[in-house]
């Protein structure tokens, strides 16, 4: 039973990380078109966090898959 709880929590975390990553990507794309923000390099500020979130989501997905076997 504890294994199922852990698996469910990992799946929830993975889904949340995926959603957060998608939100950041959307914000990044929208910010490129805002006049006030065009002066800064949006990619510089958001690229690394997006990559990290994606990496974490992928790792959690791998763990979830391993636990479900």
Q: Mean pLDDT throughout 15-36?
A: 80
Mean pLDDT of 49-66: 86
Q: Is the pLDDT of residue 40 over 70?
A: no
* Structure tokens given for 44: 């510089």
- Residue 63's Cα: distance from chain center in Å? 16
Q: What is the DSSP secondary structure assignment for residue 1, as one 8-state letter?
A: -
Checking if the pLDDT of 35 tops 70, the result is no
State pTM to two decimals.
0.61
């Amino acid at each position: 039973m504890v294994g199922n709880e852990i698996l469910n929590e990992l799946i929830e975390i993975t889904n949340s990380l995926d959603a957060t990553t998608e939100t950041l990507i959307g914000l990044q794309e929208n910010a490129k078109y805002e006049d006030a923000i065009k002066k800064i390099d949006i990619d510089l500020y958001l690229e690394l966090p997006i990559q990290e979130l994606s990496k974490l989501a992928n790792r959690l997905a791998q763990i979830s898959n391993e636990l479900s076997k």
